[in-house]
Amino acid sequence: MVSGKTAPANGTVDKIDIAIIGAGPQALTLVTHLLQKKKSMRQRFVVLDPAGDWLQQWQHQFAAYGIPHLRSPAVHHPDPNPYALRAFAESRPTELFPPYALPGTQLFHDFCQAVVRRWGLQERVMQAQVQQIELVHQHGWQRFRLGLADGRVLTAKRVVLAIAGGKPNMPAWVQSVPSNYPSERLLHSHQVDLRDLPQLTGETILIVGSGLTSGHLALGAIARGAKVIMMARRTFYEKLFDAEPGWLGPKYLKGFHAEPDWDTRWQMIQTARNGGSFTPAVFTQLRRWERNGKLSFYEQCEVQSAAWQENVWKVTCNQAGAHHCIAQQPIDRIWLATGSTLDVNHWPLLDNIRALHPVPLVNGSPVLDAQLRWAGCNLFIMGGAAALQLGPVARNLFGARLASERIVPALIKNFIHELGHGSLRQLNLA
């Protein structure tokens, strides 16, 4: 059994019951729900994450973009008790933001640390980068061999993938940009860390994309003295949540689950999320900066080309009305807040599993069973890759709860089933 941040020596094989890959909010939600149902499972799982601790990537992203609060209300969090965060925040009411008690970033961080301590999970994350999952058969049982980046190998009976797994979307024009520019001057949003840019006075930054990430980056850049151009193929618009509240319960999910056609479900998910949007609070701030001359919006507009000339970007776009203004504007940086695409065909972790047990895919999303299990093996998937079963909120905090409600009973049932078989085998051998 592996516990804590220690691990077997290089080249050895250690056996564990449940390997959970990823230590973000999805994994933390799963673990607390598992322990709520069966405390004896505490020593049965290990969480594998390159950072070696809970929620490190989540916290990095919020800090890198200067995000003041979550988009989800306070009832959505990793603890099984939906009111736990509200209770935790009783002495910090100013950190719940209107209109639906949205938790401040620091409040949510402190709460999650309290959850980790309360459930005794401080030492359950092992620092490890899983590079390969191989399905093998041993003594009549299926097992997973997890190949780690440092050469170690773990063997697990069950695996839960709780990773984001998205690949950054890069607009087609980026491929045509000559490579003579400084690398930090053209970045996808996941590479931007505002903490590394304390001073941007005098710079003009072009931000491509219409989602909340682009809004946070714009506000952060303006706060550091920059002027910002925001450009998107669509019209900028506001929406309180990234999917309507009806998707957080039976109002919409009942019809979604009743739909037998997976392609139709996928289309329902796209329609529900409807691309990127700003929260009303962020859009209000952006409009204020627009009135003050610090920000320009270019809607239904796409970059056609970009070239690094005389230490600035020269950019052309496809909208006649905007083309002259953009072409004449020296731009110091381009940030691509263009989101990511989830396609399990591009997950090297699943190469072996996909070869042995191919499952139908809909635009890169796997068709899982009702327990979010990959057909033919005890590999479970949480997050956006489980959306065909869970709906458009699969990647959100509420989606983590929905996933846990399906996966936890299956993990416990499998565990009890194996215990029973083990006892019967010992009796037969006696």
pLDDT of 428 reads: 43
Q: Output the average pLDDT for the chain.
A: 92
State residue 275's pLDDT score. Answer: 81
pLDDT at 3: 38
| Amino acid 397: pLDDT | 96
pLDDT at 424: 43
pLDDT digits (tens, 9 = 90+) for 213-265: 999 999 999 999 999 999 999 999 999 988 898 998 889 999 999 999 999 99
With cut-offs at 50, 70 and 90, classify the pLDDT of residue 139: confident
- Stronger pLDDT, 197 or 12, i.e. the higher one: 197
Asked whether 344 and 195 are in contact (CB, 8 A), the reply is no
DSSP state, residue 95: G
The answer to whether residues 120 and 126 touch, using CB atoms and an 8 Å cutoff, is no
Q: How many CB atoms lie within 10 A of CB 176?
A: 10
What mean pLDDT do residues 156-165 have? 95
CATH superfamily to which 170-239+275-338 belongs: FAD/NAD(P)-binding domain (3.50.50.60)
Instruction: Indicate whether 8 pLDDT > 60.
Output: no
Domain limits of the chain?
13-54+121-166+341-429, 170-239+275-338
Asked if the model's pLDDT at residue 2 lies above 60, the reply is no
CB 33 within 8 A of CB 60: no
pLDDT > 90? residue 325: no
Q: Is residue 7 over pLDDT 50? A: no
How many angstroms separate the CA atoms of 141 and 184, rounded? 50
Exposure of 352 by Cβ count < 10 A (0-12 exposed, 13-18 middle, 19+ buried)?
middle
Six-digit token pair at 99? 């209109």
Residue 201: predicted pLDDT = 98
State the pLDDT at residue 427.
37
- Per residue in 77-130, pLDDT (tens digit) is 999 999 999 999 999 999 999 988 999 999 999 999 999 999 999 999 999 999
Q: Right CATH number for 13-54+121-166+341-429 from 1.10.10.10, 3.40.50.10860, 3.50.50.60, 2.40.10.480?
A: 3.50.50.60
Contact 168, 190 (CB under 8 A): yes
Cβ neighbour number for residue 241 with a 10 Å cutoff: 18
Angle at which helix 280-291 crosses helix 212-223, to 10 degrees, equals 40
Q: What percent of the chain shows pLDDT beyond 70?
A: 94
Q: State yes or no: pLDDT of 323 exceeds 90.
A: no
Cβ 72 vs Cβ 243: under 8 Å: no
CA distances to 95, 191, 380, 386 from 332, rounded to whole Å, are: 35, 16, 45, 39
pLDDT band at 274 (very low <50, low <70, confident <90, very high): confident
Does the pLDDT of residue 9 top 50, yes or no?
Answer: no
Does 13-54+121-166+341-429 match 170-239+275-338 in CATH topology? Answer: yes
Question: Does the pLDDT of residue 5 top 70, yes or no?
Answer: no
Quote the pLDDT of residue 249: 86
* Token couple for 408: 């936890």
Residue type, 277: S
> What percent of the chain has pLDDT above 90?
85
Q: At what angle do helices 397-429 and 25-37 cross, to 10 degrees?
A: 50
Residues 152 and 7: beta-carbon distance below 8 Å: yes
Q: Which two tokens stand for residue 181?
A: 């520019």
Tokens of 288: 């204020």
What pLDDT score does 422 carry?
Answer: 58
Three-state DSSP at 172 gives helix
Q: Tell me which residue of 133, 131, 136 sits closest to 352, measured CA to CA.
A: 133
Distance CA 152, CA 160 (A): 19
Task: Please say if the pLDDT value at position 72 is more than 70.
Answer: yes
317, pLDDT greater than 80? yes
- Show the beta-strand stretches assigned E in 290-377: 295-298, 303-309, 312-317, 333-336, 340-342, 361-362, 365-366
Tell me the HSE value of 421 on the side-chain side, using a 13 A CA sphere.
9
Residue bearing tokens 């709906």: 391
What own/partner pairs with CB < 8 Å and gap ≥ 24 does 264-269 have? 265/362, 265/388, 266/362, 266/363, 266/365, 266/387, 266/388, 268/391, 268/392, 269/387, 269/388, 269/391, 269/392
What local confidence, expressed as pLDDT, does residue 110 receive? Answer: 98
- Report whether pLDDT(197) > 60: yes
Report the candidate in 213, 259, 190 with the shortest Cα–Cα distance to residue 67.
213
Residue type, position 66, single letter: G
